[in-house]
């Protein structure tokens, strides 16, 4: 029997539950009476509940997020119907705000809002000692990071071999973007650098090679950022891959110089731009220097091997289809390997709701709470954007059609308008946005470019993309009659993460 179960439902197996490991690491003497269980979103609620009940727990702590709240609600309902004496404690961003309106909160015994690293252990002690708290909603004070036990020793050998390892050097964000929960996490609190690097040293010694930093602003304190980058440079090994989220207009020369050291495709920077419209930025309380942002992105592309993943958001208050398109074209010209086109979500607790009346913002009541329409973008237009985002991910972000992609707007002024036209055409041709075979996508690209746009030479560039990297693939039957003038593409020698490596063109391309 395990008295305390810490559990959550991950989006995929590869995503290790970072929050659960923090909670377990800070249980103190209760660790011996606790266990972590992780599930996946594809599992059935009854199967998850059955596994939890098989351990005969007294307390079940569940991490609740936007991607798992619906399934977790079903699990909690089953647990309370079958074993009502089990104490259910909820935590996580999805239940840290607007608790009064949530069905899952009604089923639970307690909800810890905020960062529960220390609070969860405190509540468990009270319950096991017969001093159960009376309030249902238990706010957790922001813990000082020097009091929090770091969880990195809890990554198992299986985690190191098969999963993404999440790490953090800091928590919180100094910015006030109204669509983001991180804007509520103030002040920014950092882990003491030497302590953090000692933990990383231990992970590397155990064979860890892939690290995803979850800091909302990794480059907020440049001295710390440089120390961490230098740490990896000094210990660099084949197979390493690093992911950071950085503020794009805060990259001094000293930081850029360090980033230039890393081999191509082994560092990914996620840069949140969200909008290039200054009025829209003001509406959402976002501050950024667009001139510096553009300089830094162009430097990264011209002088480093960093893989740049840039974010834009559709549906922000005041953003029209035309202004988004102008921003998209501006970003395409800067050359990031990936542009993530996200649809605005109304996350619980965020102040974006203050714009609802003025801009006619209408959101889905169900997770992930995406915007359905507003005063500038109709329901139909937002559906076009969703299709655009899906096809852009398949064609552009996947890296499978890196050479073919620019042909979609070849000789045209706007990449956005051109790809939107292709997206509309492809949606009509296939009749769906998902479950599209790679061969069918390649054939559609060929038909569109060759027959719809009348471009010559499409077959050869598509062949180059198809066989680039030396990956053995089936031949494209619709190209068999087209002449071949070159090789099948060079094999990439740089060892990188698979998706990032597809964006690496042969030298001289």
pLDDT digits (tens, 9 = 90+) for 10-36: 999 999 999 999 999 999 999 999 999
Arithmetic mean of pLDDT over the chain: 93
Per residue in 316-348, pLDDT (tens digit) is 999 999 999 999 999 999 999 999 999 999 999
Per residue in 429-438, pLDDT (tens digit) is 999 988 899 9
**Rounded mean pLDDT of 218-229?**
96
Handedness of CA 217, 223, 227, 229 (dihedral sign): positive
Q: Can you give the pLDDT at residue 496?
A: 58
User: Binning pLDDT at 50, 70 and 90, where does residue 487 land?
Assistant: very low
Residue 469 has pLDDT above 70, yes or no: no
| Overall CATH class of domain 4-142 | alpha beta
All residues at 6 or more sequence positions from 226 whose CB lies less than 8 Å from its CB, including other chains? 254, 255, 258
User: Binning pLDDT at 50, 70 and 90, where does residue 255 land?
Assistant: very high
User: Binning pLDDT at 50, 70 and 90, where does residue 485 land?
Assistant: very low
Q: Can you give the pLDDT at residue 494?
A: 45
Residue 507 has pLDDT above 60, yes or no: no
User: Binning pLDDT at 50, 70 and 90, where does residue 488 land?
Assistant: very low
Q: Can you give the pLDDT at residue 490?
A: 44
Torsion of CA 170, 176, 181, 187, to 10 degrees: 40
Residue 273 has pLDDT above 80, yes or no: yes
Q: Can you give the pLDDT at residue 45?
A: 98
Could you give the CA distance from residue 150 to residue 24 in angstroms, rounded to a whole number?
A: 10
Please state, for a pLDDT cut of 90, what percent of the chain lies above it: 87
User: Binning pLDDT at 50, 70 and 90, where does residue 471 land?
Assistant: low
Per residue in 364-387, pLDDT (tens digit) is 999 999 999 999 999 999 999 999
The domain spans of the chain are: 4-142, 164-354, 441-501
**Rounded mean pLDDT of 155-163?**
94
Report the candidate in 503, 462, 508, 164 with the shortest Cα–Cα distance to residue 338: 503
Assigned CATH for 164-354: 3.80.30.20
Q: Can you give the pLDDT at residue 61?
A: 98
All residues at 6 or more sequence positions from 293 whose CB lies less than 8 Å from its CB, including other chains? 248, 249, 271, 273
Per residue in 408-421, pLDDT (tens digit) is 999 999 999 999 99
Q: Can you give the pLDDT at residue 159?
A: 95
Per residue in 205-216, pLDDT (tens digit) is 999 999 999 999
Q: Can you give the pLDDT at residue 369?
A: 97
Q: Tokens 């892939």 map to which residue?
A: 210
Per residue in 56-110, pLDDT (tens digit) is 999 999 999 999 999 999 999 999 999 999 999 999 999 999 999 999 999 999 9
Q: Can you give the pLDDT at residue 475?
A: 79
Please state, for a pLDDT cut of 70, what percent of the chain lies above it: 94
User: Binning pLDDT at 50, 70 and 90, where does residue 491 land?
Assistant: very low
Report the candidate in 462, 447, 452 with the shortest Cα–Cα distance to residue 406: 462
Q: Can you give the pLDDT at residue 380?
A: 98
**Rounded mean pLDDT of 214-237?**
96
Q: Is 370 helix (H, G, I), strand (E, B) or coil?
A: strand
Per residue in 179-191, pLDDT (tens digit) is 998 777 668 999 9
User: Binning pLDDT at 50, 70 and 90, where does residue 486 land?
Assistant: very low
Residue 310 has pLDDT above 70, yes or no: yes
Report the candidate in 347, 350, 349 with the shortest Cα–Cα distance to residue 367: 347
Q: Is 7 helix (H, G, I), strand (E, B) or coil?
A: strand
**Rounded mean pLDDT of 285-306?**
96
Q: Can you give the pLDDT at residue 474?
A: 73
Report the candidate in 49, 54, 44 with the shortest Cα–Cα distance to residue 76: 49
Q: Tokens 């001289």 map to which residue?
A: 508
User: Binning pLDDT at 50, 70 and 90, where does residue 427 land?
Assistant: very high
Report the candidate in 32, 41, 86 with the shortest Cα–Cα distance to residue 63: 41
Q: Can you give the pLDDT at residue 252?
A: 95
Could you give the CA distance from residue 37 to residue 51 in angstroms, rounded to a whole number?
A: 9
């Amino acid at each position: 029997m395990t008295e305390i179960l810490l559990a959550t439902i991950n989006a995929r197996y590869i995503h290790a539950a970072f929050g659960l490991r923090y909670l377990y690491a800070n249980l103190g003497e209760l660790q011996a009476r606790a266990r972590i269980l992780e599930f996946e979103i594809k599992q059935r609620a009854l199967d998850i509940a059955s596994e939890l009940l098989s351990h005969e727990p007294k307390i079940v702590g569940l991490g609740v997020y936007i991607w798992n709240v619906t399934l977790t609600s079903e699990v909690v309902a089953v647990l309370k119907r079958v074993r009502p004496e089990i104490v259910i404690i909820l935590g996580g961003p999805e239940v840290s705000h607007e608790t009064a309106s949530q069905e899952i909160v009604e089923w639970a015994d307690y909800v810890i809002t905020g960062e529960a690293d220390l609070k969860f252990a405190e509540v468990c002690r009270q319950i096991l000692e017969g001093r159960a708290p009376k309030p249902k909603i238990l706010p957790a004070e922001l813990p000082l990071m020097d009091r929090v036990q770091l969880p990195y020793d809890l990554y198992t050998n299986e985690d190191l071999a098969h999963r993404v390892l999440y790490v953090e050097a800091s928590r919180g964000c100094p910015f006030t973007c109204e669509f983001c929960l991180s804007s509520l996490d103030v002040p920014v609190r950092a882990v003491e650098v030497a302590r953090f690097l000692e933990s990383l040293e231990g992970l590397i010694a155990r064979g860890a090679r892939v690290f995803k930093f979850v800091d909302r602003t990794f480059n907020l304190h440049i001295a710390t950022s440089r120390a961490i980058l230098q740490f990896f440079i000094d210990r660099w090994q084949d197979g390493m891959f690093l992911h950071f989220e950085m503020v794009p207009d805060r990259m001094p020369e000293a930081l850029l110089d360090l980033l230039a050291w890393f081999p191509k495709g082994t560092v990914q920077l996620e840069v949140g731009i969200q909008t290039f419209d200054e009025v829209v930025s003001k509406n959402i309380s976002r501050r950024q220097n667009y001139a510096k942002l553009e300089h830094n992105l162009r430097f990264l592309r011209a002088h480093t091997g960093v893989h740049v993943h840039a974010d834009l958001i559709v549906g922000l208050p005041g953003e029209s289809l035309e202004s988004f398109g102008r921003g998209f074209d501006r970003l395409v010209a800067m050359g990031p390997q990936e542009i993530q086109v996200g649809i605005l979500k109304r996350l619980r607790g965020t102040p974006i709701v203050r714009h609802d009346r003025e801009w006619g913002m209408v959101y889905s009541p169900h997770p992930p709470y995406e915007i359905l329409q507003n005063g500038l973008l109709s329901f139909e237009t937002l559906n076009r954007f969703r299709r655009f985002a899906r096809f852009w991910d398949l064609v552009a972000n996947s890296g499978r059609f890196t050479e073919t992609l620019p042909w979609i707007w070849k000789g045209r002024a706007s990449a956005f308008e051109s790809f939107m036209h292709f997206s509309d055409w492809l949606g009509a041709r296939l009749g769906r946005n998902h479950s599209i075979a790679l061969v069918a996508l390649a054939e559609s690209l060929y038909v569109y470019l060759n027959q719809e746009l009348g471009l010559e030479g499409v077959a050869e560039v598509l062949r180059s993309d198809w066989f680039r990297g030396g990956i053995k693939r089936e031949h494209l039957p619709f190209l068999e009659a087209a002449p071949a003038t070159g090789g099948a593409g060079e094999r990439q020698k740089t060892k990188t993460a698979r998706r990032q490596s597809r964006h690496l063109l042969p030298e001289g391309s």
